[in-house]
Amino acid sequence: MPKSFDELIKNGEQTNAARLFAKEYYMSGKMGHTRKLLIDYLADKLDEYEKPCKYCKTIDKATPSSPKKKYKFCPMCGKGIVK
């Protein structure tokens, strides 16, 4: 069963909630196709941005004594490193 808009927001699935919002408004005629495409595009870009880069993945997999573990931010993409 598909999740509701509120369930998606509570579960931290903001991009899926945005897509659902756009779909429901488009299907009900409250929003045009171009605006729906814009929301879908922005949700895709946010999903892409939130993915770690290849270097972030090597920092995460590094051993505790590795010099890579000193980074607070990825030197390649600038995202914060979760410790």
Per-residue pLDDT tens over the stretch 9-21: 999 999 999 999 9
Q: Are residues 30 and 15 in the same domain?
A: yes
Are residues 59 and 35 located together in one domain of the fold?
no
Q: For residue 11, what pLDDT is reported?
A: 93
* Burial label, 32 (beta-carbon count in 10 A; 0-12, 13-18, 19+): exposed
Closest to 53 measured CA to CA, from 77, 70, 72 = 77
Number of domains in the chain: 2
Regarding whether 2 and 41 lie in a shared domain, the answer is yes
Q: Do residues 57 and 36 both lie within one domain? A: no
The domain of 83 spans 52-83
pTM: 0.69
> pLDDT tens digit string along 5-56?
999 999 999 999 999 999 999 999 999 999 999 999 999 999 988 888 888 8
